């Protein structure tokens, strides 16, 4: 799928707003978005046209190889992410194929990444809402969080903070996920998959 090389990218970190959710597994998309915001060198501001926080800038090397991006954190709660994402996509004139969702993924071991285009939502409410709003043909950077231990319910697991053992490597994995987003945006899907789909 080809898109206009000059079109901006919309990178959406999925999570739930508010300090009570900030360190949850379900909020790893927000963590990656925050790190990308640091790399761009700006801070999130409330979007005028959607229920989200956004920052505009460039990712990648300086000059023409750098890509124009809009980083976003929907403030609508996870299961209503689609509305803010579509609002931002339309306002910034971003092709759907240039939308990237960064999200937690239960079916991948902790810290493992998968970069892909399109596909199902695998029960993830943020993806479900985005797909309902604009179809499935957007990119995903899937951040593995593993399955819940024992008989713990999935909802309880994703809404808990990362364990102390997991937190030891969390910074490294979030950094790697941000690298994967940057590679996807600047060098394309195949290159990002080759480098980060372990």
Task: Give the list of residues 6+ apart from residue 192 with CB closer than 8 angstroms, or none.
Answer: 115, 180, 183, 184
E strand or H helix at 29: helix 28-40
The secondary structure of residue 24, as a DSSP letter, is B
Catalytic site residue from 26, 103, 124, 139: 26
26 assigned to active site:
yes
Q: Which residue has the tokens 């046209």?
A: 49
* DSSP string across 134-194: H-S-SEEEEEE--PPSTT--HHHHHTSBPPHHHHHHHHHHHHHHHHHHHHHHHH-HHHHHH
User: For the chain, how far is it from start to end, CA to CA, in angstroms?
Assistant: 24
Helix (H, G, I), strand (E, B) or coil at 83: helix
For residue 91, what is the DSSP state? Answer: H
**Residues 15, 32: contact at Cβ < 8 Å?**
no
Q: What is the spatial distance between Cα 88 and Cα 161, in angstroms, rounded to a whole number?
A: 29
Catalytic residues: 26
């Amino acid at each position: 799928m080809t898109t206009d090389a000059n079109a901006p990218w919309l990178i959406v970190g999925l999570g739930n707003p508010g300090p009570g959710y900030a360190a949850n597994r379900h909020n790893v998309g927000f963590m990656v978005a925050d790190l990308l915001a640091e790399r761009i060198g700006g801070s999130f501001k409330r979007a005028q046209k959607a229920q989200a926080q956004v920052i505009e800038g460039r990712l990648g090397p300086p000059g023409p190889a750098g890509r124009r991006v809009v980083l976003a954190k929907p403030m609508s709660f996870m299961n209503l992410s689609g509305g803010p994402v579509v609002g931002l996509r339309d306002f910034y004139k971003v092709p759907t194929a240039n939308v990237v969702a960064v999200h937690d993924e239960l079916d991948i071991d902790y810290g493992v990444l998968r970069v892909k285009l399109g596909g199902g939502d695998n029960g993830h409410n943020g993806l479900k809402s985005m797909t309902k709003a604009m179809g499935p043909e957007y990119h995903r950077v899937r951040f593995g969080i593993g399955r819940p231990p024992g008989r713990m319910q999935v909802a309880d697991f994703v809404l808990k903070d990362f364990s102390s053992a997991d937190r030891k490597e969390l910074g490294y994995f979030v950094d790697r996920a941000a690298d994967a987003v940057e590679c996807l945006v600047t060098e394309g899907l195949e290159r990002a998959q080759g480098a980060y789909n372990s």
